Amino acid sequence: MSLIKTVRSPKLLAAPATATKSRFSWASLPRQHLVSYVFMSLLGAFFLLPLIFMVVGSLKPNERVLAEGDSWRAFIPTSVTGANYVDAFQQADFLHLFFNSVVITGSIVSISLVINSLFGYALARFRFRGRALLIAVVVALIIIPLESYVIPLLYMVARLQWVDTYQVQILPFIANPFYIYLFYTFFLNLPKELEEAAQIDGADLWRIFTRVMLPLAGPVFATVAILNFLSSWGQLLWPIMVTHGPEVRPLPLGVAEFQTEPPFHWGTVMAFATMMTVPTVAVFILFQNAFVRGVARSGIKG
């Protein structure tokens, strides 16, 4: 039932097909549409201007970022320099922190896709004792946020002498009940005929999973990968607690650090922030349809 329903849910970020193919002109717009455009432009400005400020600020000499901050010149590159980017690399050690973030986020996203999809698939398709109970436990665990057990977790990893390592920033975030649940509901809604056909052809369970199910599961993998990427890339609380030196620190801590030691080189901060945002924008642009389709399909809506 729900499968049939979701098939007709269209690509959300794609523009709906316009009925007329005639050439566009502002004058022919109904008044109601014009009002919509005015509102959308105002909202758009609210959402876009801080981002423009960030990018433009990264290109300006340090002192101009604040000096021109209170007028429209804040959003205009009045004078362009690459010095901030050079500083971000040389003084703020961007490359090192970027490498750390890539290692940490990359490991979390890739390993967690494997582990959580296996778990979700087993819950959806296998028959075993305690299955219903296990599903209930997973659903219950979704409610527990990291922040509610972060202190004992810190106590545990401190005892293990894991402070200032990569694994302390990776291992706790691999298995995730919410992602397991997303995989579970996705596989549950896939028709069983394909697997049964493969079974008749003599394929074992592992082959069925890797050759039949995985190729169909692109959307849910994309959803989980993107949700996971966004939350790992931005993590702040946990890295603050488990890294003391810059060795294994991720990017968000680099940004946070800027604001603790004056003098503040705001142009450099903006360059750092801009470069830190580039990967997220890239992931979003590359996968936006998959992401939004995934959101709609995976029962995120509850």
Partner 1 sequence: MATTLQQSRTSKAKRYTPPLVVWAFLIPGAILLGIFLVAPFALAVGMSFTSLRLISPLPLKFLGWQNYARTFVDPLFRQALQNNFLFALVVVPLQTSLALWMAILVNQKIRFVKFFRTLFFLPLTTVLTVAATVWSLLYIPDTGFVNGFLRALTFGHFQPHWLYDPHFALTAVMIVGIWQSAGFQMVIFLAGLQEIPEELYEAVAIDGAGSWTKFRYVTLPGLRNTLIFVVTVTTIFAFRLFDAVYIMTKGGPLGSTETMLLRVYEVGFDQQKIAVGAAISVVFFLIVLVVSIIQRIFVHEEGGLA
Site for partner 1 in 225-264 (CB under 8 A): 230, 233-234, 236-237, 240-241, 252, 255-256, 258-259
76 scored as a contact of partner 1 (CB under 8 A): no
Per CB under 8 A, the list member of 70, 161, 261, 263 interacting with partner 1 is: 70
Per CB under 8 A, the list member of 202, 215, 263, 302 interacting with partner 1 is: 302
For residue 111, give the nearest of 162, 186, 172 by alpha carbon: 172
Buried b (16+ CB within 10 A) or exposed e, 13-38: eeeeeeeeeeeeeeeeeeeeeeeeee
**Helix, strand, coil fractions of the chain, as percent rounded to 5:** 70, 0, 30
Buried b (16+ CB within 10 A) or exposed e, 276-296: beebeeebeeebeebbbbbbb
86 scored as a contact of partner 1 (CB under 8 A): no
- Number of Cα atoms under 13 Å in the Cβ half of residue 255: 17
Cα(97)–Cα(74) distance, rounded to whole angstroms? Answer: 28
Instruction: Select from 78-86, 91-99, 214-222, 275-283 the region that touches partner 1 (CB under 8 A).
Output: 275-283
Q: In whole angstroms, how close is the CB of 4 to partner 1 at the nearest point?
A: 8
Cα(209)–Cα(195) distance, rounded to whole angstroms? Answer: 8
3-state secondary structure of 206: helix
Per CB under 8 A, the list member of 56, 59, 74, 271 interacting with partner 1 is: 74
85 scored as a contact of partner 1 (CB under 8 A): no
116 scored as a contact of partner 1 (CB under 8 A): yes
Cα(298)–Cα(302) distance, rounded to whole angstroms? Answer: 9
Cα 278 to Cα 18, 128, 274: the distances in Å are 32, 45, 6
What length does the chain have?
Answer: 302
Per CB under 8 A, the list member of 7, 27, 46, 201 interacting with partner 1 is: 46
Cα(99)–Cα(28) distance, rounded to whole angstroms? Answer: 53
18 scored as a contact of partner 1 (CB under 8 A): yes
194 scored as a contact of partner 1 (CB under 8 A): no
Cα 144 to Cα 119, 171, 224, 226, 298: the distances in Å are 19, 17, 18, 21, 20
Evaluate whether 124 touches 187 at the Cβ level (below 8 Å). yes
Per CB under 8 A, the list member of 80, 95, 136, 156 interacting with partner 1 is: 156
Instruction: Select from 53-61, 79-87, 89-97, 211-219 the region that touches partner 1 (CB under 8 A).
Output: 53-61
276 scored as a contact of partner 1 (CB under 8 A): yes
Instruction: Select from 81-89, 90-98, 171-179, 215-223 the region that touches partner 1 (CB under 8 A).
Output: 171-179
The count of chain residues that interact with partner 1, using the rule CB under 8 A, is: 104
Q: In whole angstroms, how close is the CB of 82 to partner 1 at the nearest point?
A: 20
Taking the least distance from each CB to partner 1, the nearer of 161 and 206 is: 206
Instruction: Select from 63-71, 79-87, 89-97, 215-223 the region that touches partner 1 (CB under 8 A).
Output: 63-71
Taking the least distance from each CB to partner 1, the nearer of 95 and 160 is: 160
163 scored as a contact of partner 1 (CB under 8 A): no
Per CB under 8 A, the list member of 152, 202, 245, 262 interacting with partner 1 is: 152
3-state secondary structure of 11: coil
